[in-house]
Amino acid sequence: MLSKKWLKFIKSLQTKKFRQENGAFLVEGAKSVRELLQSDFAIRILFATEEFYHAAIRSPDGPGFAVEIVNPAELAAAGVFQSNNACLAVAGIKENRKLFAEAGEYVLVLDEVKDPGNLGTLIRVADWYGIRKVVCSANTADCYNPKVIAASVGSFTRVDLYYCDLRDYLSQHRDRAIYGAFLDGENLHQTSFAASGYVVMGNESRGISETLRPLIPHRITIPRFGGAESLNVGIAAAVVCDNLRKQLTMISGQWAVDG
């Protein structure tokens, strides 16, 4: 039975203010919660149907966190998505730890990506292409927004995010190559990528901020063959990452090992 106290708390976590005050966020649905159970996130409580609980929690010693058995109607009433009929978890927010590109590694950098669905997609794209670190401007959508978590389809458990002032960040990390997606950049298919570095993707409507442009020496673009004015930032990031991954794989058979 989902108490009024827990229902109020869960509802409060749908807003950024209360997520930050409580250091907690929501994860909904069987797929995302299963991924959460296998991750290093600290789970505070799991609300689940009897069926999901017995299928997902197999340890004879129990799960190691609080569990309440609820019915699908209660889950639909508590969460963001009415289609959730299996489970909902409350987990702890991780510390905002600094991330940077190490040798043989690429970091995805996001400048003012406002739409939660786009951010979730970008996290999923990073995960698909083996990018484990995403650095975001302070005004990028909150990665713990329930819509971001849902759109990432579990990838939030494998990709670390760091929020910061991107101007300061990029100024401090010019020791590795920095690429940015622009409409007037070099043809992506003719770009020779360094063995490691940063790929910057900009705001959905304005692209990369004017203040960041002087810090990005390598401007790249996805060549256009039709009449569309622009690409969705998630699609554009996937195209860039695919070409980056393909080139580095052709060179070494895996991520390059030197900077």
Asked if residue 8 is part of any domain, the answer here is: yes
Does residue 126 share a domain with residue 46? no
Does residue 197 share a domain with residue 142? yes
CATH of the domain at 87: 3.30.1330.30
Report the share of the chain in percent with pLDDT over 90: 85
pLDDT of residue 83: 80
Condensed to tens digits (0 to 9), the pLDDT of residues 21-66 reads 999 999 999 999 999 999 999 999 999 999 999 999 877 677 889 9
CA-based nearest residue to 123, from 143, 95, 146: 143
Does residue 132 share a domain with residue 246? yes
**Domain of 78?**
4-92
pLDDT band at 12; cut points 50, 70, 90: very high
Cα Rg, the chain, nearest whole Å: 20
Does residue 88 share a domain with residue 120? no
Does residue 138 share a domain with residue 64? no
Chosen domain end from 60, 92, 124 = 92
Between CA 158 and CA 176 the distance in angstroms is 23
- In sequence order, the 6+-apart residues with CB closer than 8 A to the CB of 2 are 47, 68, 70, 74, 77, 78
Q: Out of 6-20, 75-89, 136-150, 241-255, pick the least confident.
A: 241-255
pLDDT of residue 5: 93
pLDDT of residue 31: 95
Residue 259 reports pLDDT greater than 50: no
Residue 255 reports pLDDT greater than 70: no
Condensed to tens digits (0 to 9), the pLDDT of residues 170-221 reads 999 999 999 999 999 999 999 999 999 999 999 999 999 999 999 999 999 9
Residue 150 reports pLDDT greater than 60: yes
Top mean pLDDT of 50-64, 92-106, 245-259 is at 92-106
Asked if residue 97 is part of any domain, the answer here is: no
Asked if residue 160 is part of any domain, the answer here is: yes
Tell which wins on pLDDT, 156 or 54.
156
Does residue 137 share a domain with residue 239? yes
pLDDT of residue 251: 63
| pTM above threshold 0.85 | yes
pLDDT band at 79; cut points 50, 70, 90: confident
CB atoms closer than 10 angstroms to residue 241? 21
Does residue 246 share a domain with residue 158? yes
Does residue 138 share a domain with residue 25? no
pLDDT of residue 258: 42
Asked if residue 257 is part of any domain, the answer here is: no
Asked if residue 174 is part of any domain, the answer here is: yes
CA-based nearest residue to 258, from 105, 103, 123: 103
CA-based nearest residue to 70, from 91, 92, 85: 85
Arithmetic mean of pLDDT, 92-98: 98
Helices and strands, counts by H and E, the chain: 9, 10
Residue 253 reports pLDDT greater than 60: no
